[in-house]
Structure 1
């Protein structure tokens, strides 16, 4: 959250030391609540959409409106959404009031600087703030959490990483795109991609067809239909990845970039993730800096699973945590 807050919004944040970020906290709460509400509402929505005529049934029908209004979970979600909007308003307001506004180069300032020429509305800019948070905050954090879970529970993988880092990028060596590339550090790159395969930060995703289309298998997709796919399942397909549940970075050595539509961790086509290279680079920098100096061991007795957010956050039982022992090398 701290790096995203600085790069996207030009604002200092210190969540790594335990300081609560209001926007981030409200965002996390809203994610969990909306997921719970969807599951709680599934049977009712299916019934009302199937059997009730308009204006009672349907996505925007009265039945759904009354159901949402009577739901305690949905009321909590709306409260968290108000906090998100208030924080977005604050970010926009303070950015515009900044004496250094015209010289700022964070993404929010760049959008606002282009507002007059491109006729962005304030509502559009606030939506962009939320989209940037969704795209850039949890995703890289989820990748790092699951990657260090795999590293901490496998001494052999960790040793190979230590050996590669000591040889190719020892402490004090500058880190850049070249030194962290798959050519220079193939095992590190393999660890990152294997974590993305097994634990994709967005485990299920969807799109709405802009026009009538036909999938490669011959399936017709009418305009307006919503299609969902699950990178989590695709990455565990035994026909594509032998022994799919095993964490084997060697699968990606030598590296041949998978087709985005077959490995849609970063989506594909015109909607491919704009921050893909940044996310990979950021994850590699964090991993190398930590492993240059430290070694990790998974604390025994944990019940590691994934959480209830849109992104694949890591959990220990019912707690949002991963506990590891850390030692100096």
Structure 2
């Protein structure tokens, strides 16, 4: 710890002290922060690192094109945008020029390795081609009716029922993460980690995974030489990261090892799940397959749980919306489609679908994402991008832009996604938004493969939980609103403590 502080002090503190003392920029002003030689706008970035999401949102609102360029340090610049035309340009129109890039891959390399979310080029194409077969209608139906429903009936609902009976307090964010973890492991790897049990066991892997995600995310907030030096010296957070990544990788190796034995005993490589498909593709290198397991664990565990955490909190603030969803749940359960099973039932839940979209508009599971330019370029709004620069599209800010959502952008209103099928009719019709104005699931060639799976899972959870229970968040100290923590995915600071009430 002492060496870490000494290193940071040597590199930064004298300069930062001088600049904080004499710098006059204010996060509430309409101007971009001051930029200084060598360290760029790092002082302002550091001062606002705990509120970077709303701060960047304010800066983007004041920019005429909803795009700005910021100088970081050591001559590095990056572009931040909330402009749909720019998003379409980098995610689709000029897709070959905007990749994850070496900086991104290096920063997350210790955790994600060469997994699909950290890959470019042929490696990314191969992983996507293999993965896409796991998201067909047959697999999605199996996921909902065999995996999700079993996890609901055998684990989640009994835990909520017991909590209601004892009037105990649950951290619903933790419960939803456990639910998501069991689900992704079962459907993608054919492995049941038994994480959502009545005892709520503290799994060493889960704790290590949380720490690994947080520390890896924090690397983006530091000048690269700082975290790289800490890693070389094996001090501070980098020492912790090395330890927790080791735990994560050992867990992933266990899953891979068990799958290999299962396939060997079957005397054939039968592609019954995602992991089997990769192993049967001829890519049996342990590190490569382990990277894939870690990437899909991150996607399946953290994104849907983040979305549902904020969704249930928003419902508690908007009883009108909750009542509309309850009405739809009851109608779906009694409709003809319900006879076809859970899959067909949730497909009919249009209002709930809209409510989830609206929740993710305000609290996207992945608040920001960025790409690195392979060559010089000019964005549609005239912003110049040099080779090697990063362009960040700010999903959180885009959900708060009046230019995209209108003057009532701050209101939680699922109806903005809906229209009546016929004039005077009671039934809703879902009206999707332009994916470049709403890039919650990315867009273009890298659009999220699991988008439909995520919606089906979330709607099934909402239906099963709300049908039997009312989820009541505990009031925070001073009536404060929950705070969004932005790591690789969004978390609610302090979790979501709730009491669960049985419905009559």
TM-score, length-normalised on structure 2? 0.56
1:27 aligns with 2:209: yes
Looking at structure 2, the residues matched to 94 and 35 of structure 1 have their Cα atoms a distance apart, in angstroms, of: 30
What is the Cα deviation at residue 196 of structure 1? 0.9
Which residue of structure 2 aligns with residue 72 of structure 1? Answer: 236
What is the Cα deviation at residue 307 of structure 1? 2.9
Looking at structure 2, the residues matched to 299 and 239 of structure 1 have their Cα atoms a distance apart, in angstroms, of: 35
- Equivalent pair of 2:271/2:280 in contact (CA under 8 Å): no
Moved over 6 A (4+): none
- Equivalent pair of 2:306/2:489 in contact (CA under 8 Å): yes
Q: What is the root-mean-square deviation in Å for CA atoms of aligned residues?
A: 2.4
Q: Unaligned stretches of 5+ in structure 2? A: 1-180, 420-429
Identify which of 306, 316, 328 aligns with 2:484.
Answer: 306
With over 3 angstroms needed to count, the CA separation of the structure-2 counterparts of 1:227 and 1:77, relative to structure 1, is same
TM-score, length-normalised on structure 1? 0.83
Looking at structure 2, the residues matched to 287 and 209 of structure 1 have their Cα atoms a distance apart, in angstroms, of: 40
Q: Unaligned stretches of 5+ in structure 1? A: 46-58
Which residue of structure 1 aligns with residue 275 of structure 2? Answer: 108
Looking at structure 2, the residues matched to 22 and 175 of structure 1 have their Cα atoms a distance apart, in angstroms, of: 36
Equivalences, count: 302
2:489 is paired with a residue of what secondary structure? coil
Segment drifting more, 199-208 vs 304-313: 304-313
Segment drifting more, 238-247 vs 280-289: 238-247
Which residue of structure 1 aligns with residue 412 of structure 2? Answer: 247
Paired residues for 1:79-158 under 5 Å = 79-98=243-262, 99-100=265-266, 102-103=269-270, 105-115=272-282, 119=283, 121-158=285-322
What is the Cα deviation at residue 236 of structure 1? 0.8
1:13 aligns with 2:211: no
- Which protein is bigger by CA-based radius of gyration? 2
Looking at structure 2, the residues matched to 120 and 97 of structure 1 have their Cα atoms a distance apart, in angstroms, of: 13
- Equivalent pair of 1:168/1:185 in contact (CA under 8 Å): yes
What is the Cα deviation at residue 197 of structure 1? 0.3
- Equivalent pair of 1:102/1:113 in contact (CA under 8 Å): yes
What is the Cα deviation at residue 143 of structure 1? 0.8
2:501 is paired with a residue of what secondary structure? strand
What is the Cα deviation at residue 228 of structure 1? 1.1
What is the Cα deviation at residue 22 of structure 1? 3.8
Looking at structure 2, the residues matched to 212 and 105 of structure 1 have their Cα atoms a distance apart, in angstroms, of: 44
What is the Cα deviation at residue 217 of structure 1? 1.7
1:137 is paired with a residue of what secondary structure? helix
